[in-house]
A = this chain, B = another copy of it.
Amino acid sequence: MARVAGCVLCETDGGVVVGRTPLLRVIRAEEDPRYPAFYRVVWTDHAREFTDLTPADRTHCMDVVAAVEEVLRHHLQPHKVNLATLGNAVPHLHWHVIARWTWDAHFPGPVWASEQRTPSAPRLAEVAAAQSRVEADIAQSLRRWAGTPLGA
């Protein structure tokens, strides 16, 4: 099924679009200024669960998740990268790719757990300053799939 009325990820991009392949987009999440390196890989068609994709589509999806993780590691050297697809509130397949540091608001907890601290402002500014380089590299990385005849 391609699009579902009322689904926020069918009807809107859901964030700042950083790049696309024929089957998905990468967006920067904008909801939380404490996480300037929080990206999402959003499947274009409305799929609910990861296993609603074909094996080939799943591999493409995770290749892109890995490509985003690699760019984050290269530019930002995060303490850890967190990957997750939950979709309890928005059941349209999207993968969170989040760079994490020991100084961030929730570390070592997940970003959905209780806040541990106010994150370091200078560190946050450093990450934010790298955003344009990070996103240029993600866009460049996604070009390898441009025009590829993907799909089931």
Interface residue ranges, A against B (CB under 8 Å)? 48-51, 55, 58-59, 62-63, 65-66, 69-70, 73, 79-89, 91, 100, 107-110, 112-114
CB distance from A100 to the nearest CB of B (A): 6
Please tell me how many copies of the chain the complex holds: 2
Minimum CB–CB distance from A107 to chain B (whole Å) comes to 6
Contact B87 A84 (CB under 8 A): no
A50-B66, A69-B49, A112-B113 known; A80 and B84 CB under 8 Å?
Answer: no
Determine which of B49, B63, B114 lies in contact with A73 in the assembled complex, contact meaning CB atoms within 8 Å: B49
A107 CA to B112 CA, complexed, in Å: 12
Residue among A69, A73, A79, A110 with the most chain B CB within 10 A? Answer: A110
Contacts of A107 in B (CB 8 A): 88
Q: Which residues of chain B are within 8 angstroms of A91 by Cβ–Cβ distance? A: 80
